[in-house]
Amino acid sequence: MKIKNCLLLSLGLLSIGLVSCGPKESDNPVKETNKWSISSPDNKVNIEVNLNNDGEIHYSVKKNNTAIVEDSKLGIDSDVANLHSGLTFVEKKESTLNFEYEAISGKESLVKSSSNELRLTFREYYYYIDVVFRAYSDGYAFRYEIYKNDDSNEEIIILDELTEFNLPDKSATYAMPYVSSTSNGDTFSYEDYYNYRRSDRLQDLKISMPFLYEAGNDMYSLITESELIGSNYIGSFLESDENGTLKTIPAPAGGSDTTYNVPLPFKSPWRIGISGSLKEIVESNLVEEVYGDVEYWKPDNYDELTKEEQEIYNYDWVTPGVSAWSWLVYNGVRGQNDWDLQYEYVDLASEMGWKRTILDGGWDTALNPSTLTEFVNYANSKGVKVMVWCHALNKFDTYEKRVSQLDQYARFGIEGIKVDFFDGQEKTTNATFQMEDQETLELYESLYQLCAERKMVVNCHGSNKPTGERRIYPNVINREAIRGNEFKTINTSQTTLLPFIRGVVGPSDFTPVSKPLRSGITMGQQIALCILLESGSPSMADYSENYLNQPTTEFYKNLPASWDETLFIGGDLESHCVIARRKGSEWWLGGNTIDEMDININFDFLGEGKFKAYIYEDGEDASSVNVKETEITKESNIDIKMKENGGFAIRIVRE
């Protein structure tokens, strides 16, 4: 029977559960049955859920019997239904998800996923909320689904999301709080510092995701969100009470209006807790894995397309690869419309075997179309593709402008866009949206789709954090949302934390250089960052002469931009990090440190046979490295000395 017909029934009967207009309720429910649990396939992660006497949904999470999240509340408040208290349990469903998928860029080329899912349905009058939990070996995830059982497509207003994460008492946390990037106080682009704070001292802060905390001895959890793009929702931050219980709030840079309309049926983004040792967190693919067994995005009219047009959505035209980028070292000295400079960087990319070059802000000032045509033709003749910078809210604030501008780029042979200032900086149009409000999230999605239709790749800058979107939009190969070399004074307290927090959730456009831009970080560490932070198109930001005919030239010539395997070798949040990544038969290791450190690397992850290791260590001064070659096997050990604020890299090739 449809819900709309149930309006003839008394509200009293509905409220006590004697009449059901949706899924069948449990027969003779009792309070003791309002408890449920689900564990990961390996039984390491356990989620407990209950509906208390006030009709509130609560949950908790443990891993290896260590509390990750203590008793915490869940729910949504809307203008038409209270979906966080006074709820009635309706039914549960359990299932197992096993699948694998190939990734065009990322930490692994083949990801195997296994989880158990628990779906719990609750009712408030004739509105339903499903809370869907998944338990993985490396963490947990949950989302909300709101609907009516009459196929209604009405819109409701979300007034508040009551999701809580009750952290273990006085946990060590590492978080980037909201600090506006401009004086007017309303811009944020995830480019500030991650700082340590105890969990009971987070109040009065608005905390961005990803957010990392220590739950116990060698037990950590990283909270973030996934499948935000396309959700009709808004980006979320976290806010703490005096005890360290975190609650989701709307991202503060999204504007002053904290209520928003969503159409029914509605699915929220996933709330994720990657949980375990630092090794498990660094190696996790959960932010993208939680999308499930899905296909890459295709347009609605896919079946009407020609076979050639349909092949676009295989995305085999997406080519991860290193980019040449002149803006950082020449900003304020030579403009991006200096075509001699741009030709120089095309030649650099060609000589180094890199895939593309980037024309950054100002490239189209006083542009002669024939100049651009000649440049693109020259670059393509050298095997180099061209990516151009554009302002998100000035160039693309309307759908019509997006189509027109991208069509124009495509006619010139432009292969991708570096789209910037989603946070609203330097805006000259009347666009009233920015960063992670609903309209801006729709802009992200629209650009991903329009670029896919034109076989163009996307690098987002001045943007929000990755939320797994390359799982269905593999043309989104790079992203900023990181405090990188643009700031020039980046220090190793940050570069050591980044692989454990920001680097976990998606591609990171740190824009590494070869020789340090300022004191406080060595050349060895700059090289290491090319491995410590994964990106589908790392932007090499130094002078061309610092890549050509240098002791490091072969390293940069052969550097991959996608990986088949990632291994955390060692490190901790307060001192150092070492990560190994494999591409084909080659292994690449990168490590950095805050204080001077001697470490020993063993190679038991290698296969049988002999290998040659090319080792790049800190040199006599911060702007030099020592390079040596040695033969190794999987039984070998090598001592590495890292200077203060230093690092190292190793390339391993099978002989």
pLDDT for the residue 651: 98
E strands, 211-352, where? 211-216, 219-226, 236-240, 245-250, 260-263, 266-267, 270-276, 323-325
Q: How confident is the model at residue 235 (pLDDT cuts 50, 70, 90)?
A: very high
Mean per-residue pLDDT, 2-19: 36
Q: How confident is the model at residue 18 (pLDDT cuts 50, 70, 90)?
A: very low
Q: 149-163, 224-238, 571-585: which range is least confident on average?
A: 149-163
Q: Do residues 589 and 569 touch, judged by C-beta distance below 8 A?
A: yes
- Would the pLDDT of 20 be above 90? no
Of 125 and 648, the structure prediction assigns the larger pLDDT to: 648
Distance CA 179, CA 207 (A): 10
Q: Which CATH architecture has domain 333-478?
A: Alpha-Beta Barrel (3.20)
pLDDT for the residue 32: 65
Q: Do residues 76 and 160 touch, judged by C-beta distance below 8 A?
A: yes
Q: How confident is the model at residue 257 (pLDDT cuts 50, 70, 90)?
A: confident
Q: Do residues 31 and 53 touch, judged by C-beta distance below 8 A?
A: yes
pLDDT for the residue 94: 98
User: What angle in degrees, to the nearest 10, is found between the helix axes of 399-412 and 438-453?
Assistant: 30
- Would the pLDDT of 471 be above 70? yes
- pLDDT tens track for 210-232: 999 999 999 999 999 999 999 99
Question: Whole-prediction pTM value?
Answer: 0.94
Closest CA to 113 of 343, 285, 253: 285
What CA–CA distances, in Å, run from 427 to 72, 362, 392, 434? 40, 15, 9, 10
CA pseudo-torsion sign 436, 439, 440, 446: positive
pLDDT for the residue 12: 37
Write down the domain spans for the chain: 23-289, 333-478, 482-545+553-655
For residue 651, what are its two tokens? 């390339």
pLDDT for the residue 181: 82
- Would the pLDDT of 28 be above 70? no
Q: Do residues 653 and 532 touch, judged by C-beta distance below 8 A?
A: no
Taking CA 653 as the corner, what is the angle to CA 317 and CA 603, rounded to the nearest 5 degrees? 115
- pLDDT tens track for 33-91: 899 999 999 999 999 999 999 999 999 999 999 999 999 999 999 999 999 999 999 99
Amino acid at 440: T
pLDDT for the residue 10: 34
Tell me 648's DSSP state.
Answer: E
Q: Which residues contact 418 (CB under 8 A, 6 or more apart)?
A: 358, 360, 387, 388, 389, 390, 459, 461
Cα of first residue to Cα of last residue in the chain, in angstroms, is: 71
Mean per-residue pLDDT, 632-638: 97
Query: Within 252-398, where are the H helices?
Result: 278-283, 286-289, 307-310, 327-330, 339-352, 369-381, 392-395
For residue 279, what are its two tokens? 């090794």
Distance CA 95, CA 117 (A): 5
Q: How confident is the model at residue 338 (pLDDT cuts 50, 70, 90)?
A: very high
pLDDT for the residue 258: 81
Q: What fold does the segment set 23-289 form as a domain?
A: Beta-galactosidase; Chain A, domain 5 (2.70.98)
pLDDT for the residue 102: 98
- Would the pLDDT of 7 be above 90? no
For residue 104, what are its two tokens? 């065009």
Distance CA 328, CA 510 (A): 12
pLDDT for the residue 602: 96
Cβ atoms within 10 A of the Cβ of 169, count?
A: 12
- Would the pLDDT of 391 be above 80? yes
What CA–CA distances, in Å, run from 443 to 327, 339, 451? 26, 31, 12
Of 20 and 366, the structure prediction assigns the larger pLDDT to: 366
In this structure, which long-range contacts are made by residues 175-178, counting pairs with CB atoms below 8 Å and at least 24 apart in sequence? 175/202, 175/205, 175/207, 175/208, 175/211, 175/212, 175/238, 176/207, 176/208, 177/205, 177/206, 177/207, 177/208, 178/205, 178/206, 178/207, 178/208, 178/237, 178/252, 178/253
Q: Do residues 416 and 456 touch, judged by C-beta distance below 8 A?
A: yes
- Would the pLDDT of 19 be above 70? no
Homologous superfamily in CATH for domain 482-545+553-655: Aldolase class I (3.20.20.70)
Closest CA to 273 of 98, 106, 66: 66
- pLDDT tens track for 360-389: 999 999 999 999 999 999 999 999 999 999
Q: Supply φ then ψ for residue 367, to 5 degrees.
A: -75, 130
Distance CA 41, CA 72 (A): 23
Cβ atoms within 10 A of the Cβ of 219, count?
A: 20
Three-state DSSP state, 396: coil
Q: Which residues contact 42 (CB under 8 A, 6 or more apart)?
A: 137
Amino acid at 339: W
pLDDT for the residue 3: 37
Counted residue by residue, the chain has a size of: 655
Q: 185-194, 252-261, 273-282: which range is least confident on average?
A: 252-261
User: Which pairing describes strands 236-240 and 155-161: parallel, antiparallel, or unpaired?
Assistant: unpaired
Three-state DSSP state, 323: strand
Q: How confident is the model at residue 14 (pLDDT cuts 50, 70, 90)?
A: very low
- Would the pLDDT of 491 be above 80? yes
Tell me 416's DSSP state.
Answer: E
Q: How confident is the model at residue 183 (pLDDT cuts 50, 70, 90)?
A: confident
Distance CA 130, CA 157 (A): 17
For residue 36, what are its two tokens? 């449920």
What counts of helices (H) and strands (E) characterise the chain?
13, 37
Q: How confident is the model at residue 11 (pLDDT cuts 50, 70, 90)?
A: very low
pLDDT for the residue 109: 98
- Backbone conformation region of residue 481, classed left if phi is above 0, alpha if psi is from -120 to 50, else beta: left
Q: Do residues 231 and 410 touch, judged by C-beta distance below 8 A?
A: no
Distance CA 243, CA 164 (A): 12
Of 151 and 211, the structure prediction assigns the larger pLDDT to: 211
- Would the pLDDT of 8 be above 60? no
Three-state DSSP state, 473: coil
Q: Which residues contact 21 (CB under 8 A, 6 or more apart)?
A: 1, 2, 3, 5, 6, 14, 126, 149
- The chain-wide mean pLDDT, for the chain, equals 93
Distance CA 475, CA 316 (A): 10
Distance CA 14, CA 389 (A): 57
Q: Tell me whether domains 23-289 and 333-478 share a fold.
A: no
Letter string b/e over residues 367-391, b meaning 16 or more CB atoms within 10 A of that residue's CB: eeeeebeebbebbeeeebbbbbbbb
- Would the pLDDT of 207 be above 50? yes
Three-state DSSP state, 613: strand
pLDDT for the residue 321: 98
User: Which pairing describes strands 219-226 and 211-216: parallel, antiparallel, or unpaired?
Assistant: antiparallel
Distance CA 564, CA 546 (A): 29
